[in-house]
Amino acid sequence: MATGSNNALSIAPATFLSILHRCKALTASPSAISKPKASSSSSTAGPNETLQVLDLWRVETLPKIVNGGAVEGGKPRDPPYLTLTELEDVLTCKMKRGKFRPTLLPLLRSNSPSTIEEVTRASFAHLKDTNPNELPSTKAVTDALNHLSKNLKGVGPATASYVLAARAPNFIPAFSDEAFRWVFSETTAPGVKGGQGEGWKRKMDYSLKEYLAYFHRVQEISQRLIEEAQVSYKNNPDQDSRDCGDYRQDFGASSVEMVGWVLGKEASGWAPGTTLTDSIDTDAEADTKVGGLGERKRKQDEDHRNPGESKKRADKSATSSMDKRPKLKKPQAPTLAEVNDKHIPDIAADGGGLRRSARNR
């Protein structure tokens, strides 16, 4: 686990920046090889791109799309939304950075393109009164994240956070396993599973409650780093020419997440050139729940609206369970030889001692 100079609660600004600069090299991987694009100006990156290309698209182009910037030949989206292809790129990038869950992309693609656009547009609307350069309220982040996770199949808090992080990169962090475990490496908080000292093996629920605890912890770390960097600037003005905006960009939420991600990957031995698809998790449920919302919540809502369907599903489940029960064989009377075998001990061929019967071995 990150200790000493790399501790999330005490890491120095200079050390933080040196780790941040290793992020780009760490995303260089031979997996999903394809010809990199000449620039990141396109509104999509493509699911077969390397992580480095996808991550560059995520941090440079996606924020322009989400904030109504000029994309698609100079036409801004007002109000902003994401297409199905763009959301696929977001999910692919997230999985390449973490665990590959093969069922998530098919789930995501089961949403219609119009549904993706409508839901993402409504989610961003919860943040419309938030200046990208200001900290959004907890309620705004909660409502936006809930709207994505509740209404799109294959989208949970982690994927939703990657989308919302593009709206305000300096304040809304992406929800990665490594960054979460790093910021809670020495402490815990309400809503966080596990206790102090569990390090990189801390269990996660991927719930809304857990994300909000992480969201607030990242703000604390970011603000401390900014304040310490500003003090350092006052003491050494010739060595630091940044203004306040640069401090927020260098030590904002997105940077905190990246540093935690780098430290987590390096701790696991993941270096440039490592195959990313080695980390596979077949549990799609891990990223499709929102502390009671998600797939189970959608089924509960459907049951409430249509009790008949709920009964059909329950009957089908019960029938399926009965079909899977092992069939019992009808007992048969033992033969005379079997009866004798239970009462007459076996004698070893060489005249040795008694040998245990098969029943007692």
pLDDT tens column, 275-306 = 544 456 645 545 555 444 444 444 544 555 45
Confidence category of residue 66, pLDDT binned at 50, 70, 90: confident
* Alpha-carbon gap, residue 258 to 154, rounded angstroms: 24
Contact (CB, 8 A) for 48 and 32? yes
Match 């270096």 to its residue by tokens: 271
Check whether 60 has a pLDDT greater than 80. yes
Q: Is the dihedral of CA 70, 59, 82, 131 positive or negative?
A: negative
Contact (CB, 8 A) for 170 and 249? yes
- Residue-averaged pLDDT of the chain: 76
pLDDT of res. 272:
61
Strand pairing category for 289-290 and 293-294:
antiparallel
Check whether 55 has a pLDDT greater than 80. yes
Q: What value does the mean pLDDT take over residues 99-116?
A: 94
- pTM of the shown model: 0.72
pLDDT of res. 180:
95
- Give Cα separations from 90 to 53, 108, 275 (angstroms): 12, 11, 19
Q: Per residue in 145-159, pLDDT tens?
A: 999 999 999 999 999
Among 4-18, 28-42, 193-207, 306-320, the range with the most confident prediction by mean pLDDT is 4-18
Which has more pLDDT, 204 or 319? 204
pLDDT of res. 222:
97
- Give Cα separations from 212 to 132, 134, 174 (angstroms): 18, 17, 11
Match 């119009």 to its residue by tokens: 114
pLDDT of res. 48:
60
- Tokens read off for 298: 């959608």
* Alpha-carbon gap, residue 96 to 105, rounded angstroms: 12
pLDDT of res. 128:
82
